[in-house]
């Protein structure tokens, strides 16, 4: 049975199936065959949309980040919010997007890869969007940091890894962020 779909729709379907399997079994242990089989589609079809497995992996990561990016953009477009409020929202978006993909976090020594890539991608994304916000925080005196961007990176990577190790309470994360940024206790927490 041969089911024809719109290219974009099909591409999306592959991306989602791949993401699911990568989360479940790791990139390496997911074969192109697995993906095709799960979709109920022939192996060759995937190669019609993606030149190689590598390209597919990149596309999956990109696609994931794009989802997060959309939400962030929406948030930041709202005018007139205070620095703390905004920061709180950005943090929230990150953790919500991670919470929606719990399997993403299940890295084991036998199953590395995807998380690391996603993390890096998210971190870059965060930086792109938070630069201005951080600058503002520094200028307005809310933040007293020499390397605000680096600190942001550390927090994203570090908390993500903490998450992987089982610390999933957003309150804890907020407290840690407050302390690291030198904000007074509860500043972020009250945004949740």
Residue number, 32 or 76, with CB nearest to its own copies: 32
**Using the rule CB under 7 A, is 93 a contact of DNA?**
no
Residue 129 site contact among its own copies, DNA, none (CB < 5 to 8 Å, cut-off depends on kind) = none
Selection from 158, 2, 177 nearest residue 88 by Cα = 177
Q: Measured between alpha carbons, how far is 41 from 38 in angstroms, rounded to an integer? A: 8
Q: Measured between alpha carbons, how far is 61 from 39 in angstroms, rounded to an integer? A: 19
Residue 51 site contact among its own copies, DNA, none (CB < 5 to 8 Å, cut-off depends on kind) = DNA
Residue 5: Cβ-neighbour burial (10 angstroms; 0-12, 13-18, 19+): exposed
Residue 45 site contact among DNA, its own copies, none (CB < 5 to 8 Å, cut-off depends on kind) = DNA
Give the residues lining the site for its own copies (CB under 8 A): 27-28, 54, 57-58, 61, 107, 109-110, 112-113, 116-117, 119-120, 123, 144-147, 150-151, 153-162, 165, 167, 172, 175-176, 179-180, 182
Selection from 69, 48, 50 nearest residue 60 by Cα = 50
- Shortest Å distance, C-beta 13 to DNA: 9
Q: What angle is formed at CA 104 by the lines to CA 98 and CA 107, rounded to 5 degrees?
A: 130
- Shortest Å distance, C-beta 180 to its own copies: 4
Q: With contact defined as beta carbons under 8 Å apart, do 90 and 123 qualify?
A: no
Residue number, 51 or 146, with CB nearest to DNA: 51
Q: Which residues bind DNA (CB under 7 A)?
A: 1-7, 10, 29-33, 41-45, 47-48, 51-54
């Amino acid at each position: 049975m041969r089911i024809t779909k719109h290219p974009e729709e099909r591409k999306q379907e592959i991306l989602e199936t791949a993401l699911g399997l990568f989360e479940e079994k790791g990139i390496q242990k997911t074969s192109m065959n697995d993906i095709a089989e799960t979709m109920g589609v022939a192996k060759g079809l995937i190669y019609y949309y993606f030149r190689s497995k590598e390209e597919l992996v990149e596309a999956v990561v990109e696609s994931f980040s794009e989802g997060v990016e959309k939400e962030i953009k929406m948030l930041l477009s709202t005018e007139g919010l205070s620095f703390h409020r905004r920061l709180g929202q950005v943090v929230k978006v990150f953790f919500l997007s991670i919470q929606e993909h719990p399997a993403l976090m299940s890295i084991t020594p036998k199953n590395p890869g995807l998380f690391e890539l996603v993390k890096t991608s998210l971190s870059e994304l965060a930086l792109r969007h938070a630069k201005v916000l951080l600058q503002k925080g520094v200028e307005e005196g809310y933040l007293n940091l020499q390397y605000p961007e680096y600190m942001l990176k550390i927090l994203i990577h570090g908390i993500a890894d903490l998450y992987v190790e089982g610390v999933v309470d957003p309150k804890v994360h907020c407290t840690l962020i407050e302390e690291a940024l030198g904000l007074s206790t509860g500043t972020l927490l009250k945004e949740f």
